[in-house]
Amino acid sequence: MRSYPGGDGTGQPQPRRQRALSLDDIADLRAYEHEREGFRRRIIELKRLRRVGVGPLVSLVFENRDTVRFQVQEMVRAERMLSDELVLAELEVYNPLIPDPGELSATMLLELTDEDQLREWLAKLVGIERAAYLRLGALGPDPARQDGGLVIRCQVDAAHATQLTREEVTASVHYVRFLLGEDEVGAFADGPVWLGIDLPEYAHEVELAGGVRAELLDDLRQ
């Protein structure tokens, strides 16, 4: 079964997100072939800027409307989807990955490359989809932490948790979201900002580079 980025898992229509893609945004197969190579190069460069490694085994790719459109277009191309109904079903799956203003949405990737790593770390990293956080230094110390900064923990939708969370082993892909208020968006803009994971078996934190922070501000402010 395909990994499920969002929704309630019932198959019922979900509230339309402000930046949601529609059928008009998805090129048909012939038109997409004409734009694909240039679009693909642009998305590769965009994802390079929006991908943040946290420790040696985990990366978060922050999604936006362009990265999600690319994912949908590639699925339509790979599966030769010719009907509006099939494309609409794909949009229902992937539109929840597009962040609304005040949100950051990310695909969390566990970069485990061999069977030994999979056996070891998929058990150790159970709960990792709830362990990611942003730390905003400009808003002052959080009494819950010794190293300063206000902590904003990620959120995971219920359907995702039902499908991908297990007590004994985790999945290698997760979808997480960070919700920021107006003051927190301002602090994000001022910096510094750290992205971290605080599992007992995997505790790492990295400061977001200025270019990454500027890119993600577009998601928060548009």
In whole angstroms, give the CA distance from residue 1 to residue 42: 29
Kindly report the backbone phi and psi dihedral angles of residue 29, in degrees, each rounded to the nearest multiple of 5, phi listed first: -60, -45
Burial track 132-157 (b if 16+ CB lie within 10 A, e otherwise): bbbbbbbbeeeeeeeeebbebebebb
Torsion of CA 53, 59, 62, 65, to 10 degrees: 130
Residue spans per domain, the chain: 23-221
- The per-residue pLDDT for range 87-138, each reduced to its tens digit, is 999 999 999 999 999 999 999 999 988 888 888 899 899 999 999 999 998 6
Query: What's the burial of 77, exposed, middle or buried (CB within 10 Å: 0-12/13-18/19+)?
Result: middle
Indicate the pTM of the whole model.
0.84
- Write out pLDDT tens, residues 137-173: 866 555 454 456 799 999 987 666 666 556 788 888 9
